[in-house]
């Protein structure tokens, strides 16, 4: 019985914690809300309903025919989408699409190679700024800028990766975070080249010959094409020799090396590929906004992309896509709730890690690993 006492103590404790910030009235409201939650949890515990949270519907594993059917439906749906949405929502969808590709790119290095990178947005910034500068000064065409942005970001990845990739997990995370910050600060202060905090305006929209391809619908199809390509590319990579080598390295670096995998080369390869993808999307972003400024490339953007990968399900292509769409579209849908949505978002991240750490749509391989780990505990 004394263990049940915590259901009573918790709401009181939380109310005491928030009291200095909310004062008495707010604390009482919190107390009532927390008590209600607590009562609900207590009732849950008494009746022990069969639906455990960790056993939520398993999304993967359709039979071959349903899979094809769903795929066709998905293709038709995404092709028809611009006709059904107004300009604003189309814009949100295009942004979500850019993040989908970014998340797929980061997934290569976080999900497959298991290296935690917290400054991913820096490569995105490199791509965006290189297009912005080349477009405003030299009127470089968007389609030429795509490979240029990717190449420059790749170069940045190489520069950062060569000295740092021998560091272990957490340290790598911090160094890449530092790289991201340095990039942002340099962009903010190098007034001559980057326009400082004001950024660069009047970046060219995509155009082919005399044809302007800058409308939201055009951008939508462009992004859709890039997503398809990236998804195809990463899922092929997942099943390739290279992908397997990456996963082997993620699971046990020493064992992988003993099997003859050149881990340093592999890490740099994954890092550069992922940087190039970010650089390319940076170009798309700059063309979409026709404006770049350091504000778009903060640490929180990196965190958002990382969350997409982890919440969606690491190393799972559909999972990562789902995660990216959820994280961009859901806050947009709850815009009416204003700031509360971020509060809920933070809580959801914690809850997700506790109750469903494998992500919304885990990859088969990873799910098996996690179940195995759970069984052996």
By CB under 8 A, name the binding residues for another protein. 13-14, 16-18, 20-22, 26, 110, 116, 163-164, 167-171, 173-175, 177-179, 181-182, 185-186, 189, 299, 303, 306-307, 310-311, 314, 339-340, 342-343, 345-350, 352-354, 357, 377
Task: Look at the alpha carbons of 80, 81, 87, 93 in this order and tell me if their dihedral is positive or negative.
Answer: negative
Shortest CB 177 distance to another protein, Å? 7
Rounded to whole angstroms, the Cα distance separating 272 from 105 reads 10
Alpha carbon distance 115, 249 (integer Å)? 10
Q: Report how far residue 226's alpha carbon sits from residue 102's, in angstroms, rounded to the nearest whole number.
A: 11
Side-chain-side CA neighbours of residue 222 (13 Å): 26
Give the contacts of 358 (CB within 8 A, at least 6 positions apart). Answer: 313, 366, 367, 370
By C-beta, is 79 or 255 nearer to another protein?
255
Q: How far is the CB of 350 from another protein (least distance, A)?
A: 4
Per-position b or e across 304-329, b if 16+ CB within 10 A of its CB: bbbbbbbbbbbbbbbbbbbbbbbbbe
Give least dist CB 301 to another protein, A: 13
- Name the minimum Å distance from CB 232 to another protein: 26
How near is the Cβ of 364 to another protein at its closest, in Å? 17
- Residue closer to another protein (CB basis): 70 or 162: 162
Q: Which is nearer to another protein, 73 or 159 (CB)?
A: 159
Query: 8 or 343, CB closer to another protein?
Result: 343
Question: What is the C-alpha separation between 135 and 17, in angstroms, rounded?
Answer: 53
Closest contact distance (angstroms) between CB of 283 and another protein is 26
Determine the distance from the C-alpha atom of residue 195 to the mean position of all C-alpha atoms in its chain, rounded to a whole number: 28
Length reported for the chain = 377
Q: Of the candidates 95, 105, 100, 223, which has an alpha carbon nearest to the alpha carbon of residue 154?
A: 105
Q: Is 210 exposed, middle or buried (0-12, 13-18, 19+ CB in 10 A)?
A: exposed
Nearer to another protein, 69 or 169 (CB): 169
Closer by beta carbon to another protein, 307 or else 324: 307
- In terms of CB distance, is 30 or 237 closer to another protein? 30
Spatial CA neighbour of 278 closest among 245, 246, 310, 305: 305
**Which of 355, 352, 358, 356 has its CA nearest to residue 370?**
358
| Least distance to another protein, CB of residue 233, Å | 24
- The residue (of 96 and 311) whose beta carbon lies closer to another protein is 311
């Amino acid at each position: 019985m004394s263990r049940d006492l915590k259901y009573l103590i918790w709401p009181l404790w939380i109310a005491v914690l928030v009291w200095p910030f909310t004062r008495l009235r707010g604390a009482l409201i919190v107390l009532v809300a927390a008590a209600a939650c607590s009562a609900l949890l207590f009732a849950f515990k008494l009746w022990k309903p069969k639906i455990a949270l960790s056993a939520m519907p398993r999304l993967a594993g359709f039979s071959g025919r349903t899979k094809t059917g769903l795929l066709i439906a998905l293709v038709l749906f995404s092709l028809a989408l611009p006709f059904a949405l107004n300009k604003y929502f189309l814009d949100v969808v295009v942004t979500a699409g850019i993040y989908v590709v970014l998340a797929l790119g980061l997934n290569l290095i976080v999900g497959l190679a298991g290296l935690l990178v917290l400054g991913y947005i820096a490569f995105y910034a490199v791509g965006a700024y290189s297009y912005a500068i080349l477009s405003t000064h030299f009127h470089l065409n968007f389609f030429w800028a795509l490979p240029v942005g990717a190449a420059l970001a790749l170069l940045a990845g190489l520069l950062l990766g060569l000295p740092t990739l021998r560091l272990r997990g957490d340290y790598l995370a911090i160094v890449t975070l530092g790289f991201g910050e340095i990039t942002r600060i340099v962009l903010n202060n190098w007034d001559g080249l980057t326009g400082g905090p004001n950024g660069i305006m009047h970046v060219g929209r995509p155009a082919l010959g005399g044809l302007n391809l800058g409308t939201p619908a055009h951008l939508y199809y462009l992004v859709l094409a890039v997503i398809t390509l990236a998804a195809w590319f990463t899922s092929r990579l997942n099943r390739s020799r290279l992908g397997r080598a990456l996963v082997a390295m993620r699971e046990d670096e020493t064992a992988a090396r003993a099997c003859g995998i050149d881990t340093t080369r592999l890490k740099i390869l994954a890092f550069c590929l992922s940087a190039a993808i970010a650089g390319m999307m940076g170009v798309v972003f700059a063309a979409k906004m026709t404006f770049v400024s350091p504000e778009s490339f903060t640490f929180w953007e990196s965190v958002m992309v990382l969350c997409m990968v982890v919440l969606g399900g690491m190393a799972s292509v559909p999972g990562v896509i789902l995660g990216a769409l959820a994280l961009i579209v859901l806050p947009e849908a709850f815009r009416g709730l204003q700031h509360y949505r971020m509060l809920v978002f933070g809580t959801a991240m914690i809850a997700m890690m506790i109750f469903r750490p494998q992500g919304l749509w885990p990859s088969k391989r990873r799910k098996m690993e996690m179940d195995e780990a759970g069984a052996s505990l």
